[in-house]
Amino acid sequence: MAKHGKKLRLGVNVDHVATVRNARGGIHPDPVRAALLAAEAGADGITAHLREDRRHISDTDIERLRTQLHVPLNLEMAATDEMLAIALKHRPHAVCLVPEKREERTTEGGLDVAGQHNQLAPYVRRLVDAGIRVSMFIEAEPRQLDASKSVGAPVVELHTGRYCETPQGPERDKQLLRLKAAAAHAEKIGLECHAGHGLGYDTVEPVAAIPTLAELNIGHFLVGEAIFVGFADSIRRMRAIMDAARIDSGRT
């Protein structure tokens, strides 16, 4: 369980390095090289989403990340039989179960763990029994947190998309309160709590200040910002904002 005041981990998602590579085919830019650079720049872990349609990360990328990385690999995937076999073959440090629709541009909304409880419980068990830390990517709703606990996942990742997409003002504040309440609920029921999706320099600080969060997963913004300042610098700046938010929240 997340301890208050503990360092907030940063997982860097390298999917969109692969998106740029795949726009032309070939091998450049290499997401594994980006992952190694990210780890050097202060990422505590690397996240990669192997989608059913392989639109960015490929099976070979996962194999190479698994053998070359010296920081934990968090494999995002849909709860399908194909992905279960891949996870059990590679045994990454962590698996994050996400909903997936072919036509979506990115992961829209969280997994309906409450609605798929009976299918997900044995699925999660297979992963947990293999020694993989399983997290459920969910909306910040108490019933999804309770269902995640009930299917046996030790971790949840709160979807921050709606918070990030809402313009600054009372509506965004409301979304932040939802995230805070969910993170507190997670701690109460004994789940480690992570968050991610859509975070950038201007949205990360209040989320990083939530004391019971243990990890943030951030990708698209960092890869985009790398065009202007380089990948390492974009990660270092994000890390610094997160660390400052955590220190400030400890003082209040």
Residues that bind ligand PXP (CB under 6 A): 13, 15, 49, 76, 96, 98, 106-107, 137, 157, 196-199, 217-221
H or E segment to which residue 76 belongs: strand 73-77
Task: Pick between residue 135 and residue 212 the one whose CB is nearest to ligand PXP.
Answer: 135
Q: How far is the CB of 251 from ligand PXP (least distance, A)?
A: 28
Task: Pick between residue 99 and residue 211 the one whose CB is nearest to ligand PXP.
Answer: 99
Task: Pick between residue 182 and residue 250 the one whose CB is nearest to ligand PXP.
Answer: 182
Which one of the listed residues 16, 49, 90, 194 is annotated catalytic? Answer: 49
Q: Which residues have CB under 8 Å from 117's CB, separation 6+?
A: 147, 150, 151
Angstrom distance (rounded) from CA 25 to CA 11: 26
Q: How far is the CB of 126 from ligand PXP (least distance, A)?
A: 20
The answer to whether 56 is a known catalytic residue is no
Angstrom distance (rounded) from CA 110 to CA 130: 24
Q: Which residues have CB under 8 Å from 21's CB, separation 6+?
A: 27, 28, 29, 30, 31
The answer to whether 76 is a known catalytic residue is yes
Residue reference for tokens 């920081």 = 71
Q: Are strands 192-196 and 155-159 parallel, antiparallel or unpaired?
A: parallel
Which one of the listed residues 16, 56, 185, 197 is annotated catalytic? Answer: 197
Could you tell me if 75 and 94 are in contact, meaning their C-beta atoms sit under 8 angstroms apart? yes
Which one of the listed residues 56, 76, 185, 187 is annotated catalytic? Answer: 76
Task: Please list the active-site residues.
Answer: 49, 76, 197
